[in-house]
Structure 1
Amino acid sequence: MKQIPERSAVPTALTWDLTTIYPDDSGFDQAVATVKAQAQKVAQLQGKLATSGEQLYQVTAAIFDLNRQLERLYVYASLKNDQDTSNAHAQDLSGQAESLVATVAAATSWYEPEVLGLEPATLQGLIDAEPRLADYQHIFDVLGQRRDHTLSAPEEKLLAGAGDIFGASAKTYSVLSDADLQFPVVQDEEGHDVRLSEGLYGVLLQSTTPKVREQAFKALYSVYQQFRHTFASTLASEVKTHNYTAQVRHYGSAREAAMSSNEIPAVVYDTLVKTVNQHLDSLHQYVGLRKEILGLPELHMYDLYTPITGEPSLKYTYPEAQQEALKALSVLGPDYVANVQKMFDTRAIDVVENKGKRTGAYSGGMYDTKPYILLNWQDSLESLFTLVHEMGHSMHSHYTRSNQPYQYGDYSIFVAEIASTTNENLLTDYLLKTQTDPHVRAYVLNHYLDGFKGTVYRQTQFAEFEDYIHTQAAAGQSLTADFMSKFYGDLNARYYGDNVISDPQIADEWTRIPHFYYNYYVYQYSTGFAAATTLSQRILSGDPAKRDAYLNYLKSGDSASPLEVMKRAGVDMTQPDYLDRAFKTFDERLAEFTKLARELKK
């Protein structure tokens, strides 16, 4: 039986190097002590920032420096924990870091209320009196927008001190899902016994053997359904936290609070949901084509991921995938490619799955570290797309941190997914231009359509579910497992249409979606993918100015509002045009794929 390796058995070259953050855990321990001491000093600065522009600068700089050191140790602890969530020592480091986040939040919670306690003219006068504060002007402008939603200093301290408690539900979900769930043994396509995992599940659903897909689907959900009431409890508690904090901060809803924190108006969310629902017929058409080409009497939810064109004809080892990524991204220029190569050469990527490792993939790190990427590699085209996707995040981080001061050295979640999905679009274009075999082209088109389905359609479906449970909870509805499963099952049936059997297990899919704990995060996958369609087409036009506009977006960080940054890059996300363009591309590629797939089936 194939087994997932222990962490200690993974070759060093395939693991990330965290010694560039701290040489060893003693460096982490020292950082914890330093941050605790500085937090106490910062807490004593309360009441002193309004004496002069220089004092305002000194206090502001001290708080940013404290958060900078906190971020570094937090990143170290979280990466350590994610590489093996069953490791007790790593859990302890992560616990210390999370506790310290609450400590620092409490020590600095007075700052925003005190700044906002100043009259706007008085505050601006202090800023104008100290030239060094010019570098913080946008910070103060954004803070001013939250004036009506900031509480008194004592109230802010109470909320900040409860941060660790408010995060308990998400942490419980993560530990249960990543470390404690034990999945059964199933058979792969060769008839080998394999221990099912979340990472392997995605591979088995792409199998061309229907029984393999069905077995994996039912086996996975048999485990999640055992704990559906526990998952309902953790998710309901998370939703209550979002609703509570929105209420005490005088927002109309949790959605408004979450979007306001990123300076995103409600029209962006509403336009997305409305436009996607107007184009559900395209998804139904694609799903119907899948049933036709696969020749299945019934199409089930577990049949939506296997390539319509049959056995995947493109597979890559990790070294091969690195070379393909470099070629696909070369349109972004030699400097971009050189920085991608540096990621490959400096052990910035944790590549393969091991026991206890966090599932999925992400790009992490902070201003004073390299960008890090977590993967759970499989030799598949999907893993190549994941590598390119996460590299988009990492290059966004690299360019931002290389061109902005620390206070602007991050970027809004709203624009984060745009860089990653632009890379995916560039890879799709590269493959369609370089692959002439009709079977390969059909496979790439199928992959694009599946990616669109999984990002624009699926994530908007998630967004509808997320908004529904928040509004229902705010109205007093108890979020039981049965209540959420009923709505989710009906929603899923509406999205995929009559061509798909509504398997009863899919109604419980919400139990295994970690993004529902991210507080209105998922809609940004959809808006990001759609915006990336426009940006990738601009890059591929060959106009250096359009490519440079895109690179400038990567360099902007938090120096301007997300919508302003995107306008400069060439996309106005307050208008539906970018969504219409994305659906036009989907329909065009669906038409091309339909013709090709039917010809190949003859």
Structure 2
Amino acid sequence: MAEIKLVPRSEVDPSITWDMTLLYPSDEAFYAELDKLKKEMKAFKEKYENQLGDLEVLDEAIRKYEAIELAVYRASHYAELPMTVDRLNPKVVENATAFEAVSVSYAENMSFVMTELISLDEAFLNQFVAEKRPDLAYFVEKVIRQKKHTLSKDAEQVLSNLSSLPSFYQLYEVTKHEDMQFESFEANGKTLENSFVLYENLHEMDPDKEVRRAAAKSFYKTLNAYKNTVANEYISQLKKEKMMATMRGYDSVIDYLLDEQDGDRELYDRQIRMLMTDLAPHMQRYIKLLAKEHGISDMQFMDAKINLDPEFEVDMTIEESREYLKKALGILGEDYKAMIDESYDKRWTDFPQNIGKSTGGFCATVPNVAGFILLSWTGKMNEVFVLAHELGHAYHFMSTGKHQSILNNECSLYFVEAPSTCNEVIVSNYLLKTSTDARFKRWVISNMISRTYFHNMVTHYMEAVYQDRIYKMIDNNEMLNADVLSNVKKEVMQEFFGDSLVVNEGAELTWMRQPHYYMG
């Protein structure tokens, strides 16, 4: 596998980075918008606080509220997205810090809206939907459902003000991307660099066992040095969620978090059980097949991400990926193909690998603007699957923005991965149907298992099993520290993989790699 050296953000090709001018033409325009927003939010509170019990006033206030919400959403992405790709840049940090003042103003001036809506009579809220805003039926339904879990207006104001403080997720990101420094490592007579991005995007999948295992040793050595810091960040997040669940009258943290996602506890518990009983055996068979094909007699967790056929790789340029995606996803319609073209032409995707960039991939969609996609391009065909996945999110939320109010923008996490995972399957089916090369087809099927299935099903479900156990410990007021978190993680991994692999030293620190843990 070719060596990739991370470069400073200033050295990457700007043509393959995000075009932030889609949001604002300049930093000056962004700062002008921040000043405008602070004034608008203050005026909004002065005009509408304690006035929402009138149908006409409520209709007017909600429309203004939507406009402010959309503007804040836009500004937040201009401030926060560059932090995910260039967090060592002082100007980027300055812009993000400037937006924090808007967050404080929002908490001070806008939080009364939800508190007052929840205090209104249910019949009045239903009348508002019927006579003024039928499109907000889902939003109002959620408002009504929160009535029994809402605190006093003063208490809600305090909680809103506290929410503007830096989150434990932000602290985790600083630790992960600014403080952690990974040692280079020796393999096959060469010295190779290591980092969070390089390990998760390159070294972990390297077909050369010596490279893969030396990289893992370097990677987990650094994680171990920061395990107590990250444990305190994570445990603080857990305690915050426990506090909120108790204050709002939920039976458990899990019930509190599921309610936010329109989740059913019975369904949730069944899924947790099924992972270990129904999905684990299939993954164990696959791991044993990997070990056999690669001739690995001591298969370990750090070997689990390798390809079935290590000598078969398909190189891919960024422009070639566009054509593959249009052909594969064209089955979804002309508007879908048009969105794909727009994503390339208008630079929705940030492709480079550089110092200070976040790991993994995501899509952050600003309604009626763009679906900003983050990934680290490796020049291989598997990136087509990543792009297909993130474009699924983009189309979903761009469509939502076109047809729904910003107040209906969020969806349950139970659903959110469906359009994206579906896209990966569509691309796989297209590649299988249009190729006669048996080895290529084998690669596609292997990719579906090792990436689409392993990541979207196995990895996330294993995270759920782990979190389920940790949340129950929090509910039972059991002691948590870095070693406890690691021991629980190791137990889950050993139960799931069985005798198909050994959970190598350091793999129990995998809980330190998951930003999702800070999002409930």
Q: Classify 1:123/1:365 alpha carbon distance in 2 versus 1 (closer, same or farther; 3 Å).
A: closer
Offset at 1:146?
Answer: 1.0
Give the corresponding residue for 1:49.
Answer: 52
Offset at 1:169?
Answer: 1.6
**Structure 2: distance between partners of 1:448 and 1:126:** 47
Report Cα offsets for 1:553-578 as digits up to 9, x if no partner. xxxxxxxxxxxxxxxxxxxxxxxxxx
Give the corresponding residue for 2:403.
Answer: 403
**Structure 2: distance between partners of 1:449 and 1:135:** 40
Q: Where does 1:189-588 land on structure 2 (aligned, <5 Å)? A: 192-201=190-199, 202-279=201-278, 280-451=280-451, 452-519=453-520
Offset at 1:215?
Answer: 0.8
Offset at 1:40?
Answer: 1.5
Give the corresponding residue for 1:97.
Answer: 99
Offset at 1:126?
Answer: 4.8
**Structure 2: distance between partners of 1:126 and 1:367:** 25
- What is the one-letter code of the residue matched to 1:374? L
- What is the one-letter code of the residue matched to 1:282? H
Aligned residues of 1:2 and 1:193 also touching (Cα < 8 A) = no
Give the corresponding residue for 1:578.
Answer: none
Identity over the aligned pairs, expressed in percent?
24
> SS of the residue aligned with 1:373?
strand
- What is the one-letter code of the residue matched to 2:385? F
Report Cα offsets for 1:105-124 as digits up to 9, x if no partner. 33222222322323222333
- What is the one-letter code of the residue matched to 1:212? V
Offset at 1:499?
Answer: 2.2
Aligned residues of 1:106 and 1:161 also touching (Cα < 8 A) = yes
Give the corresponding residue for 1:567.
Answer: none
Q: Where does 1:145-184 land on structure 2 (aligned, <5 Å)? A: 145-165=145-165, 167-184=166-183
Q: Classify 1:343/1:125 alpha carbon distance in 2 versus 1 (closer, same or farther; 3 Å).
A: closer
Q: Classify 1:133/1:444 alpha carbon distance in 2 versus 1 (closer, same or farther; 3 Å).
A: closer
CA RMSD of aligned residues (A): 1.9
Q: Classify 1:330/1:192 alpha carbon distance in 2 versus 1 (closer, same or farther; 3 Å).
A: farther
Q: TM-score, normalised by structure 1?
A: 0.82
Gaps of 5+ in 1: 520-602
330-339 vs 90-99, which moves further: 90-99
> SS of the residue aligned with 1:371?
strand
Aligned residues of 1:110 and 1:154 also touching (Cα < 8 A) = no
Aligned residues of 1:207 and 1:311 also touching (Cα < 8 A) = no
- What is the one-letter code of the residue matched to 2:12? V
Q: Classify 1:517/1:370 alpha carbon distance in 2 versus 1 (closer, same or farther; 3 Å).
A: same
**Alignment equivalent of 1:65, drawn from 67, 71, 95:** 67
- What is the one-letter code of the residue matched to 1:491? V
Offset at 1:439?
Answer: 2.0
Give the corresponding residue for 1:548.
Answer: none
> SS of the residue aligned with 1:365?
strand
> SS of the residue aligned with 1:205?
helix
Aligned residues of 1:489 and 1:506 also touching (Cα < 8 A) = yes
Q: Classify 1:93/1:231 alpha carbon distance in 2 versus 1 (closer, same or farther; 3 Å).
A: same
**Structure 1: distance between partners of 2:4 and 2:65:** 50
Q: Classify 1:486/1:300 alpha carbon distance in 2 versus 1 (closer, same or farther; 3 Å).
A: same
Report Cα offsets for 1:270-306 as digits up to 9, x if no partner. 2211222221222222222222222211101121111
Report Cα offsets for 1:373-400 as digits up to 9, x if no partner. 1111101233221111111111112222
> SS of the residue aligned with 1:363?
strand
**Structure 2: distance between partners of 1:476 and 1:405:** 41
Give the corresponding residue for 2:26.
Answer: 24
Aligned residues of 1:243 and 1:254 also touching (Cα < 8 A) = yes
Aligned residues of 1:72 and 1:368 also touching (Cα < 8 A) = no
Q: TM-score, normalised by structure 2?
A: 0.94
Report Cα offsets for 1:515-546 as digits up to 9, x if no partner. 11111xxxxxxxxxxxxxxxxxxxxxxxxxxx
- What is the one-letter code of the residue matched to 1:143? V
Offset at 1:369?
Answer: 2.1
273-282 vs 370-379, which moves further: 273-282
Aligned residues of 1:488 and 1:508 also touching (Cα < 8 A) = yes
Q: Classify 1:86/1:482 alpha carbon distance in 2 versus 1 (closer, same or farther; 3 Å).
A: same
> SS of the residue aligned with 2:205?
coil
Gaps of 5+ in 2: none
Offset at 1:192?
Answer: 4.9
Aligned residues of 2:275 and 2:462 also touching (Cα < 8 A) = no
Offset at 1:132?
Answer: 3.1
18-27 vs 249-258, which moves further: 249-258
Aligned residues of 1:107 and 1:157 also touching (Cα < 8 A) = no
Report Cα offsets for 1:482-536 as digits up to 9, x if no partner. 11111111111111111211212111111121111111xxxxxxxxxxxxxxxxx
Report Cα offsets for 1:85-137 as digits up to 9, x if no partner. 11122122223324532431332222223223232223334555xx4333323
> SS of the residue aligned with 1:184?
coil
- What is the one-letter code of the residue matched to 1:196? N
Give the corresponding residue for 1:110.
Answer: 112
Q: Classify 1:499/1:376 alpha carbon distance in 2 versus 1 (closer, same or farther; 3 Å).
A: same
**Structure 2: distance between partners of 1:456 and 1:127:** 38
**Structure 1: distance between partners of 2:502 and 2:261:** 38
Offset at 1:79?
Answer: 1.4
> SS of the residue aligned with 2:242?
helix
- What is the one-letter code of the residue matched to 1:133? R
Offset at 1:12?
Answer: 1.9
**Structure 1: distance between partners of 2:348 and 2:109:** 33
Aligned length: 514
Q: Classify 1:345/1:123 alpha carbon distance in 2 versus 1 (closer, same or farther; 3 Å).
A: closer
225-234 vs 115-124, which moves further: 115-124
- What is the one-letter code of the residue matched to 2:94? D
Report Cα offsets for 1:326-350 as digits up to 9, x if no partner. 2211211222112111111111111
**Structure 1: distance between partners of 2:391 and 2:474:** 37
Report Cα offsets for 1:137-190 as digits up to 9, x if no partner. 33212211111111121111010000033x43211110111222112223578x
Q: Higher relative contact order by CA 8 Å / sep ≥ 6: 1 or 2?
A: 2
**Structure 2: distance between partners of 1:518 and 1:154:** 25
Q: Classify 1:493/1:64 alpha carbon distance in 2 versus 1 (closer, same or farther; 3 Å).
A: same
Offset at 1:368?
Answer: 4.2
